[in-house]
Structure 1
């Protein structure tokens, strides 16, 4: 599927769009851009969050290239222009988060290593950040440093699933209900959400652009997660809570916590920052979940931290 080119969100020049296949036959949409002339600082690999697309990150690509980096990005299986895993394209589904590691490996072997200049840095948001952190030694020796914005390491307290409900969920999945929507979620997802009520960004222009992308390409919008996806996510949270996780991280990590985030657990991110041996931790007060989509008063704080953490980075 070609990239969507909108007047308010043009495709950055020099894009190379490519569909690649994973080891289990899933087709993934990827894109890469060379560094701007004079840029020799390596490549930033972007790993989006749940229900995010390449188009949503065009302005991030531009900011990274202005810093001297080449950029590569992949859409996870089951979203964007990548292969859907059920007959209903609105379902956010996966049987195991370990399957996302196959996406990383295909992206690394078929796009990053052969076509992008080293050194390599990973920039993961939300679900993408949780997947990268759970990958541990699997990422070595490719990525020199990891920047994770609002990584999905747990759910907010109000949505945390008690033990008995988690056991019931896993029982339902084993009985074949994994591809079904979470009860009630599809109906709520179909209800239009105003800018004022959205939990993702306080920037009305960025919100408008992202909604325009979804309006032009309805296939991109996931309606809701499935029982299987939620069950798989809880298993990833258990893995991330393991006491030996810190020993498995191959590279320095910067965790970026958004102070007004209601989508993922801020406490889980703080706890992880204490557990890791070599982290940088940044808390941006007032920012909502998607810091790279936020108003400049918040986004500028993120980019300042990024520049300080990634060697050679400056705009």
Structure 2
């Protein structure tokens, strides 16, 4: 229990096993107020974990939504896939689709009230976009926060980086971490340089949570993860990708994002036939962890696109 990060009331924790025998940790909550509106399925970004979203879970509960979330394979409280527990790893990006499909079929459908709305951040947003091309009927709407369709400053080199990482993986170096300065453990001393949020209290809450359970920490991505992610991002940047997205979709981009490419998100947004995009001024990458002023805009967009559509 972390005093700065209280658990929303009514949580039920458990584990579900995928067809390829990976154990995923999940959590579900009932609504706490208002009329019944269905369930928000919250999917996280790379390095993230259930505990990071407690505040946001409570926001959705108060709007009348049940909330269901889980930790992706290789992070949070789910099974690690390689010997180094703090290196991000996945064999194929399609494995995240396996995680989402398993959670949807074994937990969301039998245990949570419909209709179902997906809220995805960063890497989770990329998985959600892939899922929308595979199964239009899984979710009624998708609300994506800075989905990882390209990396900032690498818009024209995604393919080259992917090929490089694939080659290293072929040589048996896939589990090797790509070490970067920004992948160190969260610490108050790093706040002014943080690309994640400009809100000190919420950043400190991340620090407190990792200090309380170091097993939640994920640092550098592996070259195998990089190869898988670059391949998935390349697909979303194809001219015909947006036309394959038939689900109602709202994409939020952060104006000050130095992790995910905001111009790439704007390009995707302009191509959407059944969705739209918004750029949130003054925001860094983690929109749900930002200042009250930014979060207010994000939640207002959520209400307009999802909450008010359930009436």
TM-score relative to the length of structure 1: 0.93
**Match in the other structure for 1:312:** 308
Query: Which deviates more from structure 2 when the two are superposed, residues 26-35 or residues 272-281?
Result: 272-281
Superposition pairs of residues 45-194 of structure 1, within 5 angstroms: 45-157=41-153, 161=157, 164-182=160-178, 184-185=179-180, 189=184, 194=190
Q: Deviations over 1:70-108 (max 9, x none)?
A: 000011000000000101101100111100001001110
TM-score relative to the length of structure 2: 0.94
**Match in the other structure for 1:277:** 273
Q: Any stretches of 5+ residues in structure 1 without a counterpart?
A: none
- Asked if the contact 1:202/1:294 (under 8 Å) is kept, the reply is yes
Q: Deviations over 1:107-157 (max 9, x none)?
A: 101110001101100000000001111223323212000000011000111
User: What's the C-alpha RMSD, in Å, of the aligned pairs?
Assistant: 1.9
**What is the DSSP-based 3-state SS (H/G/I as helix, E as strand, rest coil) of the residue aligned with 1:87?**
coil
| Structure-2 change in CA distance of 1:245 and 1:70 (3 Å) | same
Equivalent residues, number = 309
Residue 312 of structure 1, CA deviation: 2.9
| Structure-2 change in CA distance of 1:186 and 1:177 (3 Å) | farther
**Match in the other structure for 2:287:** 291
Measured in 2, the distance between the counterparts of 1:16 and 1:284 equals 33
| Structure-2 change in CA distance of 1:242 and 1:293 (3 Å) | same
Q: Deviations over 1:169-207 (max 9, x none)?
A: 22111122111111x438963695511111111111111
Measured in 2, the distance between the counterparts of 1:42 and 1:155 equals 33
Q: Any stretches of 5+ residues in structure 2 without a counterpart?
A: none
- Asked if the contact 1:186/1:223 (under 8 Å) is kept, the reply is no
Measured in 2, the distance between the counterparts of 1:156 and 1:208 equals 25
Residue 245 of structure 1, CA deviation: 1.9
**What is the DSSP-based 3-state SS (H/G/I as helix, E as strand, rest coil) of the residue aligned with 1:194?**
helix
Query: Which deviates more from structure 2 when the two are superposed, residues 163-172 or residues 117-126?
Result: 163-172
- Tell me which of 12, 15, 24 is aligned to 1:19: 15
- Asked if the contact 1:43/1:120 (under 8 Å) is kept, the reply is yes
Residue 63 of structure 1, CA deviation: 0.4
